[in-house]
Structure 1
Amino acid sequence: MSSSRKGKEGAEEGEQQHGQISNKKRKEIFPYGNYKSYYGYRIGQEMEEDARLKVFKKEWFEGKDCLDIGCNSGIMTIQIAKKFCCQSILGVDIDANRIQDAYWHARKFLRMENARKTLGKASKLEGASGSSEEKDLLDTVSFRKEDFVNSRDPHKNHYDTIICLSVSKWIHLNWGDDGLITLFTRVWSLLRPGGIFVLEPQPWKSYEKNYRVSETTRENYRNLMFYPKDFQDLLLDKIGFRKVEDITSSVSGSKTGFNRPILVFHK
Structure 2
Amino acid sequence: MNETEDLKFKGNDPGAVRFGNFINYYSFYPPHERTERLPKNIWRTEGISYCLDIGCNTGDLTKALSNFLLNCGSNNEIIGIDIDPTLISRAKEHHETNLKFFCVDIMNCDGYNSIKTFLNDLNLKKFHIVTCFSISMWIHLNHGDIGLRIFLKRVSDLSELLVIEAQPWRCYRNAVKRMKKCNSTFSLFPYLQYRENIVKDIENILTEECQRIKITETEDTKWGRKTLFFR
With structure 2 as the length reference, what TM-score do the two structures score? 0.77
Q: 1:26/1:216 Cα in 2 relative to 1: closer, same or farther (>3 Å)? A: closer
Shift in alpha-carbon separation, 1:146–1:246, aligned structure 2, 3 A = same
2:213 alignment counterpart? 242
Displacement of 1:243 in angstroms is 2.8
Contact 2:58-2:87 within 8 A present in 1 as well: yes
State whether residues 174 and 216 of structure 1, in contact with CA within 8 Å, keep that contact through their aligned partners in structure 2.
no
* Superposition pairs of residues 35-184 of structure 1, within 5 angstroms: 35-43=22-30, 50-58=32-40, 59-60=42-43, 63-85=48-70, 86-106=75-95, 138-153=96-111, 154=113, 155=115, 156=117, 157=119, 158-184=126-152
Unpaired runs of 5+ residues, structure 1, are: 1-23, 44-48, 107-137
The match for 1:9 is none
Residue 226 of structure 1 is aligned with which of 194, 197, 200? 194
Q: Distance in 1 between matches of 2:134 and 2:185?
A: 16
Letter in 1 for 2:90: D
Separation in 1, partners of 2:185, 2:174: 12
Is the deviation greater in 182-191 or in 164-173?
A: 182-191
- Give secondary structure in 2 for the equivalent of 1:64: strand
Deviation of 1:216 (Å): 8.4
Q: TM-score, normalised by structure 1?
A: 0.68
SS in 2 for 1:84: helix
When residues 175 and 61 of structure 1 are mapped into structure 2, their CA distance, relative to the original with a 3 A threshold, is farther
Q: Answer 1 or 2: which has greater helix percent.
A: 1
- Single out whichever of 195-204 and 210-219 deviates more from structure 2: 210-219
Mapped contact 2:128–2:161 kept (Cα < 8 A): yes
Task: Give % identity.
Answer: 30
Q: CA deviation at 1:36?
A: 1.3
Q: Which residue matches 1:46?
A: none
Whole-angstrom distance in 2 between the partners of 1:217 and 1:265: 33
1:27, distance to aligned residue in structure 2 (A): 4.1
Deviation per residue, 1:55-99 (Å, 9 max, x gap): 324542653000111001110001111232342101110000110
Q: What 5-or-longer segments of structure 2 have no aligned partner?
A: 1-9, 120-125
Q: For the structure 1 residues 223 and 244, does the alpha-carbon distance in structure 2 shift closer, same or farther, using more than 3 Å as the test?
A: farther
Q: Distance in 1 between matches of 2:103 and 2:67?
A: 22
Q: Deviations over 1:185-207 (max 9, x none)?
A: 1111112xxx2111111110110
Tell me, in whole angstroms, the C-alpha distance in 1 between the residues paired with 2:77 and 2:36: 20
Q: Distance in 2 between matches of 1:64 and 1:96?
A: 26
RMSD (CA atoms): 2.2
2:137 and 2:184 map into 1 onto residues whose CA distance is 13
Between the two proteins, the alignment pairs up a number of residues equal to 198
